Amino acid sequence: MRGTGKKFIIVLLISLFLLGIGQAVWAEKWQPYQFKGNERFEYKILLEEDEQEEEAIYILDIKESSEKSTSGEQVFEVTYTIKGAFTKDELGPEKAFGLWGVFGICLNMLVVNPYYVFFFSQMDLKVGEKINFSGVGIIKVIGKQKIAGREGFICQLFQADEEDEMIAEWVIDPDLALPLKSKMFKFMDDELQGQGQIELIKYIQY
């Protein structure tokens, strides 16, 4: 019986060791904007500032073209669509320039601020992960969430000096080039002044 007990302990220890290795191996890093091609992203955008809300639809469509580049490489056609609803009185010159003219923001800042891209290349996407980027911010992976039929990791970014003040949140599926969801918070004098959110409502791969 004593020998059987020792064997059980050895097997248990080996199993725990292999489980730890497996978690390390399967922990993923995310590199944004690594598009596969022949895919379509459709997002709902919500912007809130000064107690006013704006809503729009953003579609990014990437399709393989029949053409080739001068060097013989495959060429992709990229189409951007922004849809919003406005009254006749709201129509004007700024509406002609899409999201940037209407809402006065850069879409890439709302999806993933380029300043934060470096964070994701340095961290493992696994629940419980926490990294303090000295003087910049703290990122925590707090769980998972399903959006538009896909599952992603919930990553929250906090102020470096105030860990209870969240400034951004993403839901990331490492297999996609863009987040399933991105939420940015705008603070002034420690008070929330506005927020922006972009959330995937449909993803198609051709």
Contacts of residue 1, Cβ cutoff 8 Å, sequence gap at least 6? none
Strand (E) or helix (H) holding 8: helix 2-26
Burial degree of 77 (CB within 10 A; 0-12, 13-18, 19+): exposed
What is the 8-class DSSP label of residue 10? H
CA distance 37 to 11: 46
* Phi, psi values for residue 179, rounded to 5°: -65, 155
pLDDT digits (tens, 9 = 90+) for 81-115: 888 887 888 777 766 766 555 455 677 778 887 77
> Token pair for residue 105?
């923001």
Kindly give the parts of the chain with pLDDT less than 50: 8-26, 102
Sequence length of the chain is 206
> Token pair for residue 73?
């490489």
Specify the pLDDT at position 174.
94
Specify the pLDDT at position 116.
79
Specify the pLDDT at position 20.
45
The single-letter code of the amino acid at 94 is: E
CA distance 147 to 170: 12
Specify the pLDDT at position 11.
40
Contacts of residue 172, Cβ cutoff 8 Å, sequence gap at least 6? 30, 120, 125, 152, 153, 155, 179, 180
CA distance 146 to 124: 19
